[in-house]
Amino acid sequence: MTKPAPKEWILGISAYVPGKAASDDGRPLIKLSANENPLGTSEAAKQAMAAAVDLATYPDPAATKLREAIAAAHGLDPARIVCGTGSDELLHLAASGYAGPGDEVLFPRRSFAVYDIAARRVGASPVIAPDADYATDVDALLAAVTTRTKIVFIANPNNPTGTMAARGEIARLHAGLRPDILLVLDQAYAEYVEPDEDDGGLDLAKTATNVLVTRTFSKIYGLAAERIGWSYASADVVDILHRIRGPFNVTTAGQAAAVAAMGDPDWVAASRAHNSRWRAWLASEIAALSNHGLRAVPSKANFLLILFDGRLTAEAAMKGLMEEGFATRFLGGQGMTNGLRITIGTEEHVRAVAARLRAMAESA
């Protein structure tokens, strides 16, 4: 008996695996596997969301108030902002609009897993450029460009490594690309970066015709449950994204909460300060375990990638932390069997994780 046959390239996709929230036996865990804000959501955003009670009416398809709030905060043209169901939708839209069978989508090794999925989903070939000690290597990316390259994806700061390419490197990458190649700068963790470390992506997108910047409200703003993302690009790119995006892709409550979140900069500043303090503290604790083979990759995001090259393995560390009640992200599925990504949690969580890692490393 015959049956509907999927496109061959769809069968090459490995489905995205979200971070664990429960142990193997179903026990709830403290979730340090998905890079959510450990402080939660600002009261302003919560109140705005609760007040958005019109459930029978479709949301504003243009997300007008949200785009205006984003534009005001960043000095952008609201007409060139496209909102999406998280930044993930926008990444997929970029691939759908600009790549297909016979084309190549380029990104660094150890990048966000969605880039590979987005490329394969449209029948394009994912091309992986070498990294430089877990960081983006601009020269390697430029060397990997071919006549078939249509899109270059860069996460900055990068997920899952936390590394960040400086403004000059991003400018050099853009300058080295053909103007018909779309450079997608995925800035999901941009709000955790200090202002003087900005990579200049939005400034590039203001004038360049081939730059798309994506951001999200899922991280520092604490609105992951509502799936709200936004992007900025030239009018031509924006036109393409609007042609293929979902017509009502951001909920009414989500739009209201995001507008309120944009109006609460103190919350963002407090979340950034908490993250900076406890990320540095945890990194120093890991550095003290270097003689046991542990190393933290320098991070500008709200997590640390910890490498295990001694007797204690990353998988054993993940299981040990699970016994302690914590879910972390083991990266074996992304080819890093020695890597464990740990979200920066509350002070209590970070101290408990460090203590457990120390005990396991010393007893291994």
Domain assignment of residue 15, given as a range: 8-40+266-363
Q: CA 320, 326, 328, 332 torsion: positive or negative?
A: positive
What pLDDT was estimated at residue 24?
A: 72
Task: Give the mean pLDDT of 214-237.
Answer: 97
Do the domain assignments include residue 307?
A: yes
* Predicted confidence (pLDDT) per residue in 66-102, tens digit: 999 999 999 999 999 999 999 999 999 999 999 999 9
Please identify, among 204, 230, 263, the residue that sits at the C-terminal boundary of a domain: 263
What pLDDT was estimated at residue 42?
A: 96
Do the domain assignments include residue 2?
A: no
What pLDDT was estimated at residue 1?
A: 60
* Predicted confidence (pLDDT) per residue in 249-272, tens digit: 999 999 999 999 999 999 999 999
Same-domain status, 65 and 148? yes
Please identify, among 230, 263, 296, the residue that sits at the C-terminal boundary of a domain: 263
> Does residue 43 surpass a pLDDT of 90?
yes
Do the domain assignments include residue 155?
A: yes
Q: Return d(Cα 216, Cα 212) in angstroms, integer.
A: 14
Same-domain status, 66 and 31? no
What pLDDT was estimated at residue 28?
A: 86
H or E element at residue 151: strand 149-155
Task: Give the mean pLDDT of 143-168.
Answer: 98
What pLDDT was estimated at residue 160?
A: 97
Q: What is the mean pLDDT of the chain?
A: 95
* Predicted confidence (pLDDT) per residue in 280-338, tens digit: 999 999 999 999 999 999 999 999 999 999 999 999 999 999 999 999 999 998 889 99
pTM (2 d.p.):
0.94
Mean pLDDT check: name the lowest of 26-40, 113-127, 336-350.
26-40
Task: Give the mean pLDDT of 17-42.
Answer: 85
Same-domain status, 35 and 53? no
Please identify, among 263, 286, 321, the residue that sits at the C-terminal boundary of a domain: 263
Number of domains forming the structure of the chain = 2
Same-domain status, 232 and 304? no
> Does residue 200 surpass a pLDDT of 80?
yes
Same-domain status, 33 and 55? no
SS3 of the chain: helix, strand, coil, percent, to 5: 45, 15, 40
Same-domain status, 208 and 87? yes
Q: How far is CA 303 from CA 35, 189, 206, in A?
A: 7, 10, 30
Q: Do the beta carbons of residue 302 and residue 337 sit within 8 Å? A: no
Same-domain status, 259 and 352? no
Same-domain status, 257 and 138? yes
What pLDDT was estimated at residue 13?
A: 79
Do the domain assignments include residue 244?
A: yes
